[in-house]
Amino acid sequence: MHPIFHLVAAAAATAASQPGVVSTEDIELQFAPRTPNQLMSFYEARGFPSAMTDILSKQCFITVRIHNKSDTTIWHDLDRWRFFHNGRPLHREHRDYWLDKWRAMDMPLASISTFRWTLLPEALDYLPEEAEGGNIILPRVDGPVSVTASFATGDDKQGKVITIEYSDLYCAEDKE
């Protein structure tokens, strides 16, 4: 497991629920919704300015772990993931949106860097048995969110396409 996933998972050790898991013979995805308090505690402990944490506390964080269980390369690309809420597309901002936002707000470079490494990479090749994780940020909504994620396979991305569907994502809430 990648150290980033360990850090984010450790920061949110009191997760609202167990991770949702989708597993095939080739790939396993884990989805763990994080409450605003879990993520804000993580970021505040690293000195993030309140202007950043105020914005982030209003978002929906899902920690994702991807594990390549196959014997070939699997290609992750968030451009090939689609999110839906109430049957309608749910737009996920690209990580550059957030980095541009922080720069425009003159946030400290250390905070920007820490934030960046907590995100799931936009694209990454997964070698056999490799696993990587990080956060996906979605708009905060009530009720279930579904995701369809497609992965190319093979050294040249010309192998079979793996498509994963999961319909039990949600934005975790803090318990009062």
Question: What would the two tokens of residue 170 be?
Answer: 């949600």
pLDDT at 50: 94
Residue 26 lies in a domain: yes
* Secondary structure of residue 148 in the 3-state scheme: strand
Domain containing residue 31: CATH number? 2.60.40
Residue 176 lies in a domain: no
Q: What is the pTM of this model?
A: 0.86
**Which helix (DSSP H) or strand (DSSP E) does residue 170 occupy?**
none
Instruction: Enumerate residues 6+ apart whose C-beta is below 8 A from 96.
Output: none
**47 dihedral zone (left: phi>0; alpha: psi -120 to 50; beta):** left
pLDDT along the chain (176 residues), means of 10: 40 53 97 94 93 95 97 98 97 96 95 94 97 96 96 96 95 87
Give the CB-side neighbour count of residue 53, counting CA atoms within 13 A: 16
Give the CB-side neighbour count of residue 129, counting CA atoms within 13 A: 0
Domain total of the chain: 1
Residue 162's domain comprises 3-169
Q: Closest Cα partner for 34 from 55, 58, 61, 59?
A: 61
